[in-house]
Amino acid sequence: MVFGDHVFWTAIGTTARYVFFAVAIETLLGLGLALLVDTEMRGSRVLRVSLILPMTIAPVVVGVMWRLIYDSGVGVTDPLWQFFGASPPDVLAHNTSAFIAVVVVDVWEWTPLIFLIVLAGLQSMPQEPLEAARVDGAGRVRLFLDHTLPMLMPVLLVAITLRTIDAIGTFDQIYVLTQGGPGTATRLISIYAYNTAFLFTQYGQAAAMLVMLLIMVMLLMVVAVRLMRRAAR
């Protein structure tokens, strides 16, 4: 039974931590980058194109690329460690560093999605309230907190919801990077269900896990839709 499988609940907990940290960091970075690019600065068009490039790369390719970066023998950071007289760390061999490493990969690849959605929201925002606030003497911080952020909140919630749903099903790059290891440090529910079905041939158990995951995602969607409706009022 799925409910009595403690490994399943461990995988759910790992997935929840992974999604929380990845989506939170991506939201902050995406919002900051969108605010930066939205200003009329030199090179903003080139910056926009360069920022969305990671999202265009296939997740499997991203996993292979970052595995080479993290590799203690051929990693691109090895010369830097050697310059300081230290031996390159084996990032993917330790629980905490491996978890941080896969979160970093997700942030690198999917921050552009949050960036694009937020930037579209910023550029479609009515300018009259902002101009009136500037005339009244509002500074940049007050302008953002009192006007920009409230108007942007429905767009932010959409971006967070979409990214959260996608992050819950992350499989490709983590399987390439760690296959869920070391131990259970990066074993998300997608990895555990895959191993249960195709390594241990317990197809019914794997299907039950994914049904449970679907129910959790649907409940999350209900909460997200209510929050969106409340923010849009």
Q: What is the CA radius of gyration of the chain?
A: 21
Q: Which residues contact 78 (CB under 8 A, 6 or more apart)?
A: 72, 88
pLDDT of residue 163: 94
Q: What is the mean pLDDT of each run of 10 residues along the chain (233 residues)?
A: 84 95 96 85 76 90 90 71 74 91 96 94 85 78 84 91 92 93 92 93 92 89 85 71
pLDDT of residue 107: 97
Domain extent listing, the chain = 20-187
Please give the structure tokens belonging to residue 219: 């409940």
The total number of residues shown for the chain amounts to 233
CATH superfamily of 20-187: MetI-like (1.10.3720.10)
User: For residues 65 and 105, what is the distance between their CA atoms, to the nearest angstrom?
Assistant: 10
Distance in Å from the first CA to the final CA of the chain = 43
